[in-house]
Amino acid sequence: MTAPARPPAGRRGPISRITSSRVLSTSATNLAIAGGAALGGVMLARGLGPEDRGVYAAVFVWMTYLLALSEGGLNAAVVYFLGKAPGQLGRIVRLALGGVVQQTVVILGLAVGVVLLLDLGPALTRHYLLGFALLVPALVGGVFTAALYGLDLRRWNLARAIQMPVYTGGILVLLLLDAVAVDRALVVYGLSVGVSGLTSVLLLAAARHSAVAGAVEGEAPVERGSLRAYAVRNAAWVVPAMTNTRVDQLALSVTASPATLGVYAIASTWSQMASPAISAIGNELLPRISAETEAEARHDSARIAVRRAAVGGLAVGVVSALLAWPAIHLLFGRNFSESVLLSVALAPAAWGIAVRYVSADVLRGVGRPQTAAAVEGAALLVGVPALLLTGLLANGLAVALVMSVVSAASAWILMRRALSAAAMA
């Protein structure tokens, strides 16, 4: 009997190719996370219904916004400086933690004060305060996760991926017990983030050997001022970028009924199905391009990354738009049938957001977060007049829709110009 033929040397199966490729493995992780989040979202929507799903969306969108403000660009600074000085892991993490704690006390303190001053009613006030409290472990764990990102991409993917089984499993338990409620769903989310952060701490300890190997004798220590300066420049990008991305739901959270926001949130979630796969390109590129010293290599990497993001985002966006009607009816039920047309209309904005973020990762990776900030700020200036105009002519959904599409499209166009003009300098 002859032995079975072996594959030629050098040829690998699809799973081996994915695990050995930084972009493919990160893309697969992002898609797995998105799939878990989508499954949790389906169960959450069915358990809560449009109105309570809208309440959850309102609290959650403000949580993500405050998370970005409180982190204040320090996580990106950790990734950037670890790309240049991996041997200073401990010092960089300590400096970042000190900054995050200070910013968290100020920003969350102000947010809690605003919530207490507003007449939101006891239930909604409780939801917001609980959500804000759950941001504390997310912010602390985020520093360790960022350090893992800058040091070991595969371990970073593992730390992120572990969050989704915890979250999805928790929502499933609530659904089976017929106990789905806004507060309980928020606690499940907080638990999943805590597990992910703890995993990052453990994996970072295991990855310290690579940081020690990267130490350079006589290397100047990273200074607090340098870390803070990069973080401030990056925060100047984070705030307008997060505003451009979330402004639709932020606006609806204060102008529309919870049921309206619930319908819109489902549409927005489905329209952005391409984002996890596309953002993986920037996830892989940021630490690598931070360590690159040749301008020509940076140019080639940036050009290829943005082209892949544009083509891949377009392809996945078209598929998600075509599948919107059957998928939303099947997964979320007839209560969310109004989400179908909204998700198709939001597809261009979702594509623009995904490509924008890859472009911004290029700019941040070459030490130009201020350029990304200027682009996002310009897009915000374009979007605000559109917001005011549509606010006079239509209802809250039209405001959110136009603002989302205009800001995403203008930011993407400006980002492409900024890449060709500044990123390779």
Indicate the range of 102-111, 154-163, 213-222, 307-316 predicted with least confidence: 213-222
* pLDDT value for 419: 61
pLDDT bin (cut points 50, 70, 90) of residue 307 is confident
The two structure tokens encoding residue 309: 């993001």
In a domain, 14, yes or no: no
382 domain-assigned: yes
Who wins on pLDDT, 240 or 231?
231
Q: Give me the mean pLDDT over the 164-188 stretch.
A: 92
Q: Is residue 12 part of a domain?
A: no
Residue 417 lies in a domain: yes
55: in domain? yes
Tally Cβ neighbours within 10 Å of residue 418: 20
Residue 385 maps to a domain: yes
Domain presence at residue 10: no
Instruction: Identify the band that residue 1 occupies on the pLDDT scale cut at 50, 70 and 90.
Output: very low
**What is the rounded CA–CA span in Å between residue 162 and residue 311?**
29
In a domain, residue 68? The reply is: yes
In whole angstroms, what is the distance from residue 47 CA to residue 409 CA? 35
Per the structure, the complete domain to which residue 59 belongs is given by 19-423
d(CA 356, CA 245): 10
For residues 53 and 252, the answer to whether their CB atoms sit within 8 Å is no
pLDDT of residue 19: 46
Q: How many CB atoms lie within 10 A of CB 401?
A: 20
Token reading at 146: 């960022």
Mean pLDDT of 174-195: 92
Domain count, the chain: 1
Residue with tokens 């199905």: 273
In which residue are the tokens 């969108």 written?
Answer: 61
Residues with Cβ within 8 Å of residue 296, at least 6 apart in sequence: none
